[in-house]
């Protein structure tokens, strides 16, 4: 990874001074400050000194030195743990300092020597600086370092002969002039007036020196002009009065750049910027420069924070201890920021923290790319740096924030919220690209996984990683960090899923796979959100509101319902199309079932198979919709099967008005037999598909309905078995799905019954009407008995026995028996004027009825005797009336009329209505027996009571 450099937050000096030149100037200030602090001014002490490079005649025969601060002379022999390192949270290094790595034969290195080595100042340069300070002390006894302009004094003390070569001297002179320009013209402590003459002179001198070397001798005119200009500018103060202190290195940001160079001595360049063990002693000496540089504890804390942070960033970001130290140092800056109102400090503070926060947030806004299990320990510090910087910038510097109530803004929570959402959106986009790539690589497989299904799995893994790795750290600033994370992922995936769902038109394996994956992901995300919100004030309601349901299940349900509707609609179309072609041929198959009936059950069975093969998680929930559709389809088919076949009442002719003569009854005129037949046919009605309603075809229809009825049980068993095999079915599903084909089950029961009755009454009242109506008991009773009817019934019974399913056969024959009994009674009680009976005929009637019953008993091979006897009850109750004498019948009739209407005048008996429900205790039934009674007593009574003629 290429080295990272961070622009200085202190600003550009704009005078072309290099870091090397700043470091040399800073070292000069440091040495001067250490030699003149401690309460003593510069003191001249003659000693033997030999300087091979010096040509200063005043010192050529004598040597002198400056009194040294005890700290500068102190040897580095202490091995105790650094208090400063302990305060910064840094463990002492086991490595030796440069002083301790020296040869045992060499003298022990002092703190001053360590700082020189750390600042990379050569011994030659250090010797020259000390010589210069010696000369200054000799000429200006008692002067303190802060009361002089050090570059000015040094310019006057050295000549070209003090340097190895002319070029080095020119560079040295140029550096000092640029420092004066920076400190007095570009960045003075007290702002300059445009008309300041001293500033103008200084500019001219510096400009001239760039063209011709400046003469710096003590008595040179140029040096006097330079001194006058410099001292005039350096002695200015805010209150306008001259001060003893000279302000040449304490203007912003020059002082910060110089101080930063000094603080660099605290870092061992040989160990990738690690803080040296001797930091306590080094800082103690460096602080002696504060008076010259205008540095106080707050500025020191701020610059020290920056330099530690800068070293961590620019040296590979591997020294985690240095990052922790910077975070701890930021804690001191936080305290300072709350207690200062200095606008200059606030400006430097703002630029420094903005730079730190910018670097931190660049990583935190995509922390999934920045951190992993190998470097996760650094994340907490970086979050702390970013959040603390933001807090100071917003709470202590921002004027807008001060105007608002502080409780309205939780800076830390807001920043963490931003980091989480930004990083997870970035991570989500990356996972989308990975899912796309994975999908493309799997396209050659037989069953490639859909992109959104791959993405759902990946996002689930991402959520778990967030929960385990990042959320525990971020929770320290945002208690709902994990919930915010999953809410963000939920939103991102939800947007993609919404687009996917909007494009779905039908149920496919891919669509179901995606929706199932989405449903699982949502459950996982919501579970995490709930876990993270347990201790929150609202129980996580706000977060859950951020997570509107994917509605994956409802989307699947909607697609399945569409699938069901399509299948059911197609089934109805299939029914209509196939029934139009159905001919109800009993020879179509050995079961005598309509092919359409077999096919519809096959289609229903295939539809159920297809439904349970759908890869959906909610078969039990959606099954009722399918069963309702299939049930209605089967009901529709059943209704079509019985449609047009008529009912029992379709074939029973309407009873004629009670009459005894031909003139009042058109229905029973002998001469109008053809009209009688036409009228009966009109009463029966015209059925659709008349040709397809013969007895064999009606038998096929009944078989088909019975086949459907029995297969419904098998379908329900199949459904229960399928439900037990699907993952989402409940353990006990037997009770919940009983009789789910209720409509078709009831329709098949009703349809079979209707077809049985329609078939029976059709045979009796239509197919055999020529025998029953036109033959039975017409004219002489003894010569027109029941045997022709029995003969005609026999092949019909044979057809039914050989065609209809054995479980339906007795029901059809029973219906046929009842129809024949009803027809027999109808001939006796409403047969028209062509029929009349004497009391002696009653035996014939009873014998004929017994023969009719025997036909159905079939010598024990037919219907059960108790069934036949029960069905014959009505006829057996009516037949005794035909052997009863006329007088008794008349008396019984009159008594029934009186019971029904109360006392009435003779010959005023009301005519009882025809109900069709024949009974020996019903007046209309007795009246009809009298109407067909062939004797004078009956004729007289009917003529007298109702005006009916005596003769038939």
Per residue in 129-139, pLDDT tens? 999 999 888 87
In angstroms, rounded to a whole number, what is the distance separating the alpha carbons of residues 779 and 837? 10
Q: Is the pLDDT of residue 816 over 50?
A: yes
What was the pLDDT predicted at 665?
A: 34
Between 70 and 622, the more confident residue is: 622
Q: Which whole-number Å values give the CA distances from 871 to 150, 596, 855, in the listed order?
A: 139, 35, 14
State whether the Cα torsion 218-224-226-232 is positive or negative: positive
Reference 579, options 511, 659, 637, 627; nearest CA is 637
Residue 644 tokens read as 């047009």
In angstroms, rounded to a whole number, what is the distance separating the alpha carbons of residues 151 and 283? 24
What was the pLDDT predicted at 216?
A: 83
Q: Is the pLDDT of residue 763 over 60?
A: yes
What is the arithmetic mean of pLDDT over 158-184?
Answer: 93
Domain ranges of the chain: 296-409, 421-550, 558-651+692-759, 768-875, 884-946
φ and ψ at residue 560, rounded to 5 degrees: -65, -40
For the ranges 65-79, 377-391, 583-597, which has the lowest average pLDDT? 65-79
State whether the Cα torsion 112-118-119-124 is positive or negative: positive
Residue 821 tokens read as 């009994």
Would you call the peptide bond into 650 cis, given omega within 30 degrees of 0 as the criterion? no
What are 480-483's contacts with CB under 8 Å, separation 24+?
480/532, 480/533, 480/536, 480/540, 480/543, 481/416, 481/420, 481/532, 482/528, 482/529, 482/531, 482/532, 483/528, 483/529, 483/532, 483/533, 483/536, 483/540, 483/543
What was the pLDDT predicted at 106?
A: 37
Four-point Cα dihedral 90, 96, 99, 105, nearest 10:
160
Q: What is the 3-state secondary structure (H, E, C) of 493-511?
A: HHHHHHHHHHCCCCCCHHH
What is the arithmetic mean of pLDDT over 99-110?
Answer: 52
Reference 748, options 796, 715, 797; nearest CA is 715
State whether the Cα torsion 434-435-436-441 is positive or negative: positive
Reference 389, options 302, 322, 470, 314; nearest CA is 302
For the ranges 467-481, 558-572, 685-699, 894-908, which has the lowest average pLDDT? 685-699
DSSP codes joined into one string, 838-897:
-TTHHHHHHHHHHHHHHHHHGGGTSS-HHHHHHHTHHHHHHTHHHHS-HHHHHHHHHHHH
Q: Is the pLDDT of residue 51 over 50?
A: no
What was the pLDDT predicted at 817?
A: 96
Q: What pLDDT, in 10s, does the model give residues 658-716?
A: 766 432 333 333 334 443 444 444 334 334 445 558 999 999 999 999 999 999 999 98
Q: Within a 10 A sphere around the Cβ of 61, how many other Cβ atoms? A: 6
If pLDDT is split at 50, 70 and 90, which confidence band does 30 have? Answer: very high
If pLDDT is split at 50, 70 and 90, which confidence band does 814 have? Answer: very high
What was the pLDDT predicted at 686?
A: 38
φ and ψ at residue 751, rounded to 5 degrees: -65, -45
Between 551 and 204, the more confident residue is: 204
If pLDDT is split at 50, 70 and 90, which confidence band does 9 have? Answer: very high
CA angle, 848 then 808 then 752, to 5°: 100
For the ranges 70-84, 288-302, 889-903, which has the lowest average pLDDT? 70-84
- % of the chain with per-residue pLDDT over 90: 58
Number of residues that this document lists for the chain? 952
Distance of CA 26 to the CA centre of its chain: 61
If pLDDT is split at 50, 70 and 90, which confidence band does 33 have? Answer: very high
647: left (phi over 0), alpha (psi -120 to 50) or beta: beta
CA angle, 660 then 663 then 664, to 5°: 60
Q: Is the pLDDT of residue 38 over 60?
A: no
The architecture that CATH gives domain 558-651+692-759 is Orthogonal Bundle (1.10)
Between 878 and 676, the more confident residue is: 878
In angstroms, rounded to a whole number, what is the distance separating the alpha carbons of residues 308 and 317? 11
Reference 756, options 786, 714, 798, 800; nearest CA is 800
Q: Which residue has the tokens 């937050």?
A: 9
Looking at every residue in the chain, the average pLDDT score rounds to 84
Q: Is the pLDDT of residue 405 over 80?
A: no
What was the pLDDT predicted at 673?
A: 42
Sequence-ordered alpha helix ranges (H) in 315-450: 320-339, 343-364, 367-370, 377-391, 399-403, 411-441
- % of the chain with per-residue pLDDT over 70: 84
Q: Within a 10 A sphere around the Cβ of 587, how many other Cβ atoms? A: 9
Q: Is the pLDDT of residue 528 over 50?
A: yes
Reference 147, options 18, 253, 290, 248; nearest CA is 248
What was the pLDDT predicted at 598?
A: 94
What was the pLDDT predicted at 81?
A: 58
Query: What pTM value is reported for the model?
Result: 0.70
Beta-carbon contacts of residue 230 (< 8 Å; ≥ 6 apart): 149, 152, 180, 184, 202, 248
Strand-pair category, 274-275 with 267-268: antiparallel
What was the pLDDT predicted at 905?
A: 60
Residue 743: in which H helix or E strand, if any? Answer: helix 742-762
CATH 1.20.58 fits 768-875, yes or no: yes
In angstroms, rounded to a whole number, what is the distance separating the alpha carbons of residues 188 and 251? 5
What was the pLDDT predicted at 907?
A: 60
The winner for highest mean pLDDT among 70-84, 640-654, 848-862 is 848-862
Q: What pLDDT, in 10s, does the model give residues 427-445?
A: 999 999 999 888 887 776 6
In angstroms, rounded to a whole number, what is the distance separating the alpha carbons of residues 869 and 874? 10
What was the pLDDT predicted at 269?
A: 67
Q: Is the pLDDT of residue 12 over 80?
A: yes
Contact in structure between 66 and 135 (CB atoms under 8 Å): no
């Amino acid at each position: 990874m290429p080295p990272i450099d961070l622009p200085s937050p202190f600003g550009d000096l704009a005078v072309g001074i290099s870091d090397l030149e700043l470091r040399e100037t800073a070292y000069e200030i440091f040495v001067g400050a250490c030699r003149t602090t401690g309460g003593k001014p510069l003191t001249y002490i003659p000693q033997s000194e030999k300087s091979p490079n010096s040509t200063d005649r005043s010192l050529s025969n004598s040597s002198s030195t400056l009194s040294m601060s005890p700290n500068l002379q102190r040897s580095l022999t202490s091995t105790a743990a650094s208090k400063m390192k302990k305060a910064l949270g840094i463990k002492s290094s086991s490595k030796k300092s440069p002083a301790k790595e020296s040869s045992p034969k060499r003298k022990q290195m002092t703190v001053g020597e360590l700082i020189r080595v750390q600042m990379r100042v050569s011994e030659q340069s250090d010797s020259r600086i000390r010589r210069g300070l010696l000369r200054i002390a000799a000429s200006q006894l008692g002067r303190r370092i802060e009361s002089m302009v050090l570059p000015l004094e040094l310019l006057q003390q050295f000549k070209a002969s003090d340097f190895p070569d002319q070029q080095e001297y020119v560079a040295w002179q140029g550096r000092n002039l640029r420092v004066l320009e920076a400190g007095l013209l570009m960045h003075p402590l007290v702002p300059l007036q445009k008309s300041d003459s001293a500033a103008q002179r200084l500019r001219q001198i510096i400009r001239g020196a760039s063209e011709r070397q400046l003469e710096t001798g003590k008595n040179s005119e140029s040096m006097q002009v330079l001194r006058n200009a410099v001292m005039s500018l350096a002695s200015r103060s805010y209150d306008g009065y001259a001060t003893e202190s000279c302000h040449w290195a304490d203007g912003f940001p020059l002082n910060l750049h110089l101080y930063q160079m000094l603080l660099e001595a605290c870092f061992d360049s040989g160990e990738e910027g690690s803080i040296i063990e001797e930091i306590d002693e080094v800082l103690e000496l460096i602080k002696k420069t504060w008076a010259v540089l205008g540095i106080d504890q707050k500025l020191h804390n701020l610059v020290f924070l920056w330099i530690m942070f800068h070293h961590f960033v620019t040296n590979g970001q591997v020294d985690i201890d240095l990052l922790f130290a910077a975070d701890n140092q930021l804690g001191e800056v936080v305290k300072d920021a709350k207690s200062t109102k200095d606008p200059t400090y606030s400006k430097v503070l703002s630029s420094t923290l903005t730079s730190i926060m910018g670097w931190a947030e660049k990583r935190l806004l995509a922390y999934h790319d920045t951190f992993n299990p190998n470097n996760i320990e650094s994340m907490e510090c970086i979050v702390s740096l970013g959040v603390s910087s933001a807090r100071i910038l917003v709470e202590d510097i921002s004027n807008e924030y001060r105007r608002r109530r502080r409780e309205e803004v939780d800076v830390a929570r807001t920043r963490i919220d931003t980091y989480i959402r930004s990083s997870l959106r970035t991570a989500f986009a990356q996972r989308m690209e990975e899912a796309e790539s994975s999908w493309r690589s799997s396209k050659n497989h037989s069953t490639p996984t859909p992109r959104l299904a791959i993405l759902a799995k990946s996002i689930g893994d991402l959520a778990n990683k967030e929960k385990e790795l990042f959320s525990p750290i971020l929770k320290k600033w945002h208690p709902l960090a994990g919930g915010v994370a999953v809410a963000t992922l939920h939103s991102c995936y939800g947007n993609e899923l919404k687009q996917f769902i909007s494009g779905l038109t039908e149920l496919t394996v891919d669509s179901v796979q995606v929706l199932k994956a989405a449903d699982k992901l949502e459950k996982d995300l919501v579970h995490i959100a709930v876990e993270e919100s347990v201790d929150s004030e609202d129980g996580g309601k706000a977060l859950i509101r951020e997570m509107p349901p994917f509605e994956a299940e409802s989307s699947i349900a909607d697609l399945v319902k569409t699938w069901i509707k399509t299948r059911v609609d197609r089934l109805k179309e299939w029914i209509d199309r196939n029934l139009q072609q159905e001919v109800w041929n009993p020879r179509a198959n050995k079961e005598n079932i309509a092919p359409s009936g077999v096919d519809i059950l096959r289609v229903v069975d295939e539809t159920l198979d297809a439904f349970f093969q759908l890869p959906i998680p909610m078969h039990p929930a959606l099954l009722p919709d399918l069963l309702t559709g299939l049930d209605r389809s089967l009901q529709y088919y059943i209704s079509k099967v019985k449609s047009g076949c008529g009912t029992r009442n379709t074939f029973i002719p309407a009873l004629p008005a009670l009459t005894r003569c031909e003139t009042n009854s058109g229905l029973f005129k002998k001469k109008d037999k053809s009209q009688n037949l036409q009228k009966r046919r009109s009463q029966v009605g015209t059925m659709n598909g008349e040709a397809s309603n013969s007895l064999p075809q009606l038998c096929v229809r009944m078989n088909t309905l019975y086949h459907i009825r029995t297969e419904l049980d098998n379908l329900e068993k199949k459904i229960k078995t399928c439900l037990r095999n699907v993952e989402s079915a409940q353990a006990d599903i037997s009770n919940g799905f009983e009789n789910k084909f209720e409509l078709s089950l009831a329709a098949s029961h009703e349809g079979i019954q209707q077809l049985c009755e329609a078939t029976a009454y059709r045979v009796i009242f239509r197919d055999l009407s020529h025998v029953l109506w036109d033959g039975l008991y017409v004219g002489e009773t003894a010569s027109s008995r029941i045997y022709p009817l029995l003969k005609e019934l026999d092949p019909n019974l044979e057809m039914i026995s050989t065609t209809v399913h054995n479980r339906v056969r007795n029901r059809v024959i029973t219906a046929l028996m009842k129809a024949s009994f009803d027809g027999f009674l109808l001939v006796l009680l409403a047969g028209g004027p062509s029929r009349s009976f004497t009391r002696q005929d009653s035996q014939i009637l009873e014998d004929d009825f017994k023969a009719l019953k025997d036909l159905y008993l079939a010598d024990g091979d037919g219907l059960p005797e108790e069934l036949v006897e029960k069905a014959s009850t009505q006829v057996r109750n009516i037949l005794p009336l035909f052997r009863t004498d006329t007088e008794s019948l008349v008396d019984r009739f009159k008594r029934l009329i009186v019971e029904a209407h109360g006392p009435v005048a003779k010959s005023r008996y009301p005519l009882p209505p025809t109900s069709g429900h024949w009974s020996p205790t019903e007046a209309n039934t007795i009246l009809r027996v009298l109407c067909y009674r062939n004797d004078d007593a009956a004729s007289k009574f009917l003529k007298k009571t109702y005006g009916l003629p005596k003769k038939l």
